[in-house]
Copies of this chain bind each other. A is one copy, B any other.
Amino acid sequence: MSNGGEFPAVLELNVGGVAYTTTLKSLTNHPESLLYAIFTGREPILKDAKNRYFLDRDGVLFRYVLDFLRDGNVVLPDCFRERERLKTEAEKYMLHGLVEAIANESKNRPTGAITVGYRGSFQFGKDGLADVKFRKLSRILICGKVDLCRSVFGETLNESRDPDHGQSERYTSRFFLKHSFLEQAFDMLIEQGFKLAGSCGSGTAGGATTDLKPGVDAEENRWNHYNEFVFVRE
């Protein structure tokens, strides 16, 4: 057992059987941590048969603990599946900064669902079916938690129909976008880490030609549908 302050500049560690090598400087960057206590000689540490400093903790997750010790922050892999396990390790090492960093990462990138919907119709062509008719939509509707929607769509979000400005914890289904490019909305969501999780469409029940609005021809009236796309960030 070693509990003196006589540590070399480069240390070989045995963390649960996995070998790591790092510097004394990296190990003593965080005064509140167990590792600081150990590698300043305040806490004893066992050694293994090869004279490496031994920590009775998981060997694989120490990779990220070491990242944090070296750089003061941690960039986790996409879709990292051992977040909960890493938090446990951070707590055992009393690395409050790392616990916080993991928590902040979740906070700065909250999970949740945003639904993008649109009522679409088709422009009529002059020459029957052979003529091209494009998808036509007047508004892209956005539903979800208010602050999540704001963080994704920013300035492109029109909140004028939604009266309760300022409250961010509530949900709304009364936002829409200032532009009418569906794929631009998709791209903004994808860029923010959302994935399209499901979609569904339905047409209107129709034929009631008596309630035609101004500027809507008979074919557009027949072609009304509502498609909605659920995006989720995990």
Contacts and interface: CB of A to CB of B under 8 A. Distances in A.
A133 to B, nearest CB: 7
Contact of A129 (B76, B134, B216): B216
Interface residues of A, number: 116
A190 B113 contact: yes
A171 interface: yes
Contacts of A128: 213-216
Given A122-B226, A198-B229, A230-B186, A83 B88 contact: no
A164 to B, nearest CB: 13
In the complex this chain forms, how many copies of it are found?
5
A75 B84 contact: yes
Contact of A88 (B49, B75, B206): B75
Nearest to A73: B88
A132 interface: yes
